[in-house]
Chains A and B, each alone.
Chain A
Amino acid sequence: MPNRLELTGITKQFPGVLANDQVSFAVKPGEIHALLGENGAGKSTLVKMIYGIMQPDAGEIRWNGEPVVVPNPKAARKLGIGMVFQHFSLFEALTVLENIALGMDAKIPSRELEGRIREVMQTYGLVLDPHRTVATLSVGERQRIEIVRSLLLNPQLLIMDEPTSVLTPQEVEQLFTVLRKLAAEGCSILYISHKLHEIKALCDTATILRGGKLVDTCDPKQETSRSMAEKMIGSGLKDIVKAEGRAFGQPKLVINRLRTNKAGHFDVPVDNVSFTVRAGEILGIAGVAGNGQNALLDALSGEIIGDDREAITIDGFGIGMMNTTERRKRGLCAVPEERNGHAAVGDFSLADNSVLTARDRLGMVVMGLINSGAAKTYTGKVIADFAVKALGPSSTAGSLSGGNLQKYIMGREILQKPSVLVVSQPTWGVDAGAAAAIHQALVDLASAGSAIVVISQDLDELRALCDTLAVINMGHLSAAKPVKDFSIEEIGLLMGGVHGASEADHAIPA
């Protein structure tokens, strides 16, 4: 039997970068094949060429043994290639059925389509009501729409781009069950991820890319997570170094019955949130996306100004009614989840982006005028200390890759030495090497006596990084406990909305 997909000598050159350099590998029918690599290793480019979004400069793609040219995604779907993107393209105000209908190449009567959708869901155990509005669905459920959409075309190869980054552990298990079943029926799966233990659990083969070149094709079950990570980043991996037996200081950030108002139709406000972070402590807030994390971050950073001064205190001083600028002067810095357009301005240079949050703490403003020299110097320090790949402080933020921009933003806040730092998704989309550097910088900042709050959907990250953990669900925060006192199952149940007592029926869809 010929290989389902075979790439030979695929090369793609962008201005200034060789994104793929002579990449060759093969995916067998029914194989779950991992594509591993850091940000900028060339995974996305490679996959885009397979799916017809881009064309290779050189090399050959063989599909079931025959050489093919894939001019566009429509042609890819016709061949039998499906893809589930990391960022979903769904209309929130429409139903599941309408969304799927809009994404189909052929026009199918809606009743017939619904029948086929139900059939696919039945076959693969994907629980979803076709008539629900997308806005009411969790991220995991939204992903199921995208999977169903791809499966309706009976693909022979399904490409999954970082599918588990926003799922609860239970949802990840369900997804794996579906993928294993698909593979057993002969559909090949190309699985892009940087979560190594998932790849070990799921995949038969792993192809590792680094700097556009193929480094190794290996059997993940024979490798350790560490050995694969080292192949990925090309050097020894550093563990997070935490000083043993650290003692925490006085309560630094105390949140007392914090609440926000519902802002938009799809906004999830927080209600009655209380927690305490001591000097030197890292508190993690776990939860599935869309459970009030954004409102919590905005309420802490000062983008949403509350009506109770004492709802947020730093060292006993109430800051609940201050704006972001005043809170920064008091020592509270924050990093929102969205990088481009929220934490940074894409059209501005990095130096100008430093002015955005560091101008008061670092004296970049004198008599209403901006000291651009000071901004450039500080930006240069951030670039150097956090190994940001940028031409210099004058590069625009929008020209940086997502991971590099995140390194810059984290560096910009951490080097201000805030006494309280609140960050959301500090390493989302950041490669293993950079993530380790960001984690270490956070730990070092805590060791120096700062209180840190990390809001993340990545449980591995939270368990490795944090001292204490709490779970947010529908705007409510569970009690915080030391990380080691939480089991994965317990966290998963809290994320699904079960608070200790009885198991609600909506917790785990069967």
Chain B
Amino acid sequence: MQFRLEKRREPSKAMIYITPVVAVVLTMIVGAVIFSLIGYDGIGAVREIFLTPLTNSYKWQDLGIKAAPLIIIGVGLSIAYRANVWNIGAEGQYVIGGLAGTGIALLTYGMTGWWILPLMVLAGMLGGMAYAAIPALLRTRLNVNEILTSLMLTYASVQLIYYLIRAPWKDPMGMGFPQTRLFSEAARLPTIIPGTIVHLGVPIAVLVGIVAWFIMTRSVFGYRMRVVGAAPHAARYGGFSENKTIWLAMLVSGGLAGLAGVLEVAGPFQRMVPGFPTNYGFTAIIVAFLGRLNPLGVIVAGIVLAITFVGGEVAQTTIGLPNAATGIFQAMMLFFLLAGDILIKYRLRRVLPQPSVGAA
């Protein structure tokens, strides 16, 4: 029995929503098999990673604060990727956003005032934008591939943290630890549910997703991103310049990554530490694709990926799964998703064996 891929007349709408679900299910099955084969409790691992974070209400707040940065960055990336602008360096823009916010927090140390947090947020977004502007400039002026430049700049940004927190920004009372001092009260993100760690960044993430969805579906800006990605030639014919689109895409995705960075440093961290880069910027790439490059989908995908993070930690303590297992599960998800995506434009058909040429 043979199968053949056949092009569909219209891309399947159903498949757009089915493949992410199938990808998650396949990840669970294959993950269980693989971890059983190498001697762990595979089914237990899948249960701990995918179910415990949902069934254990103590873990819900962790889910929220892990999902928030993933969603904010993922929304920005989903917009850029729509326009075929491949910003891989959200992690770096997230770091620079966090650093810019830290800078304001340290400058205003000891001061009070409602304006400090908004100023930090603004600085964080501008920082992320500025860092994304480098690949944009190189791409539009010199035609340098933005995938490489944005990725490499990530590593530079991490070195910048190490430099700043070891020398100029080092906590004077820190007993030599490489970290900044704890932000003053006015520079910390307030929690929104008393008694939990759920901070203002969580509702902001949901709001960002909803606003971005509205802009992408209803506005000329969203149309521009979609048409440049779907048919660059047609976009030029329709009056959308390619360079302007690259700039917009890089600035929006960089700005949102910067926003996530500043919310993260002012929320859960409340100071800059060497462990600030937590790969949210890279994981958000999976979030963007799992969410079908649709901001509303990104909200859901952000939660799914947050589950694997939280669940991965649970599995580490309960069944001794290595930390890398989380990465394996996340990578499998992206792999199955991209592989499954072919079914959107093609369908699988069984081919009956053909009788051979029957002449003569």
Contact = CB atoms under 8 A, between A and B. Distances in A.
Interface of A: 15, 55, 63, 66-71, 75, 78-79, 301-303, 323-325, 328, 334, 336, 338, 341-348, 352, 355-357, 359, 365, 368-370, 372, 395-396, 398-399
A357 B233 contact: no
Nearest to A371: B218
Contacts of B354: 55, 69, 71
B219 A369 contact: yes
21 contacts: A15-B9, A66-B358, A66-B360, A68-B357, A69-B357, A69-B358, A71-B357, A78-B357, A303-B236, A324-B238, A325-B239, A341-B231, A346-B230, A347-B230, A356-B237, A368-B221, A369-B219, A369-B220, A370-B223, A395-B10, A399-B10
B28 to A, nearest CB: 31
B233 A79 contact: no
A352 B357 contact: no
A337 to B, nearest CB: 11
A69 B220 CA distance: 53
Contacts of B9: 15, 399
B357 A67 contact: no
Contacts of A323: 239, 241
B356 interface: yes
Given A370-B218, A370-B220, A345 B357 contact: no
A364 to B, nearest CB: 9
A202 B230 CA distance: 43
Interface string B218-253: 111101001100110110111101000000000000
Contact of A368 (B11, B219, B356, B359): B219
Nearest to A346: B231
B355 interface: yes
B333 to A, nearest CB: 25
B350 to A, nearest CB: 14
Given A341-B231, A347-B230, A357-B238, A70 B357 contact: yes
Contacts of B355: 69, 71
A365 B220 contact: yes
Contacts of A303: 236-237
Interface centre among A301, A323, A342, A352 (most CB of B within 10 A): A342
A348 B220 contact: no
Contacts of A15: 9
A344 B234 contact: yes
Contact of A342 (B223, B231, B241, B359): B231
A345 B230 contact: yes
B238 A356 contact: yes
A42 B322 CA distance: 61
Contacts of B218: 369-370, 372
A260 to B, nearest CB: 14
A282 to B, nearest CB: 22
Given A356-B227, A368-B221, A399-B10, A71 B234 contact: no
Given A66-B360, A303-B237, A370-B220, 5 more contacts: A69-B358, A302-B239, A342-B231, A348-B230, A368-B219
Contacts of B357: 68-71, 75, 78-79
B352 to A, nearest CB: 10
A69 B356 CA distance: 7
Interface centre among B221, B227, B234, B356 (most CB of A within 10 A): B234
B241 A68 contact: no
A348 B229 CA distance: 11
Nearest to B221: A368
Nearest to B10: A399
Given A63-B359, A70-B357, A399-B9, A336 B227 contact: no
Contacts of A334: 237
A136 B227 CA distance: 33
Contacts of B359: 63, 66, 68, 79
A258 B140 CA distance: 27
B239 A352 contact: no
Interface centre among B221, B231, B241, B360 (most CB of A within 10 A): B231
Contacts of B227: 345, 348, 356
A217 to B, nearest CB: 25
4 A-B pairs closest in CB distance: A325-B239, A356-B238, A324-B239, A71-B354
Contacts of A365: 220
Given A79-B357, A352-B223, A370-B223, A342 B11 contact: no
B219 A342 contact: no
A247 B241 CA distance: 40
A328 B237 CA distance: 11
Given A324-B238, A369-B220, A370-B219, A342 B358 contact: no
Nearest to B214: A369
A40 to B, nearest CB: 13
B233 A342 contact: yes
Interface string B324-360: 0000000000000000000000000000001111111
A336 B237 contact: yes
Contacts of A66: 358-360
B88 to A, nearest CB: 24
A395 B11 CA distance: 11
Nearest to B9: A399
Nearest to B233: A342
Contacts of A67: 358
Contacts of A338: 233
A368 B220 contact: yes
Contacts of B220: 359, 365, 368-370
Nearest to A15: B9
Nearest to A357: B238
A352 B219 CA distance: 12
A341 B233 contact: yes
Contacts of A75: 357
B231 A345 contact: yes
Contacts of A345: 227, 230-231, 234
A89 B243 CA distance: 32
B234 A341 contact: yes
B191 to A, nearest CB: 35
A440 B88 CA distance: 52
Nearest to B232: A341
Contacts of B241: 323
